[in-house]
Amino acid sequence: MEISALTKWPKALADPSGSRASKPRSAGLTMVIDKGLGLHSFAELLETADEYIDIVKFGFGTSPLYKTPVLRSKIELAKRHGITVIPGGTLLEIAVSKDVVPAFFRQILTLGFDGIEVSDGTITLGRKDRDELIRDGSALGLRVFTEYGKKLFGSRIDAEQFAETAERDLAAGAELVTVEARESGVGVGLFDERGMCRQQDLESMLRLIPFPSRIMWEAPQKEQQVALIKALGSDVNLGNILVNDVMALETMRRGLRSDTFDHRLAYSDYMI
């Protein structure tokens, strides 16, 4: 056998699930949280795993702390790899609280960000203001992702309120609605104080959501990713993935790891 014939893995080995779509994809999105990677480390991440990353979020309020040339370079590099780049929702919450939202939008457009996260994990954001931020971002040509849930330890998800909020966010122009879990994934939203998935809460949410493919679940821990893949299929949208876990998550999506070896179903198989 010629060596050239060995350069590509058989599909049965590269993707045993047979369902993983290539980029740009509309489901099975992976959002990575970058908490301060240097430019070289960021470039190495994309060189290795760009095909498995759809969105990079520069976590919380880290964006203003970068040297501007470094921040611009990271944003441009990600976009060249077909990855949407957004600042953390907390930064927009600060802009709201300081009454500098127009300046926030001007700056992120100048820097090259192509998306935003609208959230109220720390502040209280009324429905009118939430709609306005979503529409303003969309009107500026930005991809808008919203987030539901509070960052306070012990906070839970109200399934009916979540479904109502998600429906209105999407109607206002949001592309995806994210379920808050913070970067720790412990004691917030869907996950309990040990980081375990509250299965009854998940089932209650799914019964009320007519559009599961437009929901993203923050799931920074491996066990949480496994639970959501088993419950919702390999095309579940997952967020706040740590930079060192991108490849590992992709193996679980494809059934290339024992944790999900027998759970290689597509998202559509789980539509309610």
b/e per residue, 100-135, with b = 16+ CB within 10 A?
ebeebbebbeebebbbbbbbbbeeebeeeebbebbe
Q: Looking at residue 247, what is its pLDDT?
A: 97
**110 within domain boundaries:** yes
From the centroid of its chain, how far is CA 215? 9
Ordered alpha helix ranges (H), the chain: 11-14, 39-49, 68-80, 89-97, 101-111, 127-139, 159-172, 199-208, 222-232, 246-254
Phi, psi dihedral angles at 158 (to 5 degrees):
-90, 110
Could you tell me if residue 13 is inside a domain? Answer: no
Among 54, 65, 55, smallest CA distance to 94 is for: 65
DSSP-derived secondary structure letter, 22 = P
Average pLDDT, consecutive stretches of 10 residues, N- to C-terminus, the chain (272 residues): 67 88 94 97 98 97 97 98 97 97 98 97 94 98 95 86 95 96 85 91 89 92 94 94 97 91 52 38
DSSP annotation of 266: -
Domains identified in the chain, total number: 1
CA distances to 52, 92, 95, 126, 201 from 100, rounded to whole Å, are 35, 9, 5, 17, 36
> What local confidence, expressed as pLDDT, does residue 271 receive?
39
Q: What is the pLDDT of residue 261?
A: 84
Answer yes or no: is 18 within a domain: no
Q: Is the peptide bond before 24 cis (omega within 30 degrees of 0)?
A: yes
Query: Is there a contact between 231 and 202 (Cβ–Cβ < 8 Å)?
Result: yes
Domain of residue 240, residue span: 23-270
pLDDT at residue 223 in the model: 94
| Residue 6 domain-assigned (yes or no) | no
Number of neighbouring beta carbons within 10 Å of residue 92? 25
Residue 187 confidence (pLDDT): 84
How far is residue 41's CA from residue 34's CA, in Å, rounded to a whole number?
11
**How much is the pLDDT for 2?**
53
Q: What is the pLDDT of residues 195-237, one digit of tens each?
A: 899 999 999 999 998 788 899 999 999 999 999 999 999 999 9
Q: What integer pLDDT is reported at residue 160 of this predicted model?
A: 94
pLDDT, residue 83, reads: 98
Residue 1, domain member (yes or no): no
Q: How far apart are CA 197 and CA 48, in angstroms?
A: 30
Q: What is the CATH number of the domain that holds 179?
A: 3.20.20.70
In a domain, 265, yes or no: yes
Q: Are 260 and 203 in contact (CB under 8 A)?
A: no
Alpha-carbon span 11 to 20, nearest angstrom: 11
| 7 within domain boundaries | no
Distance CA 70, CA 68 (A): 5
Domain assignment of residue 5, yes or no? no
Q: So what's the pLDDT on residue 3?
A: 54
* Residues pairing with 2 in the sheet: none
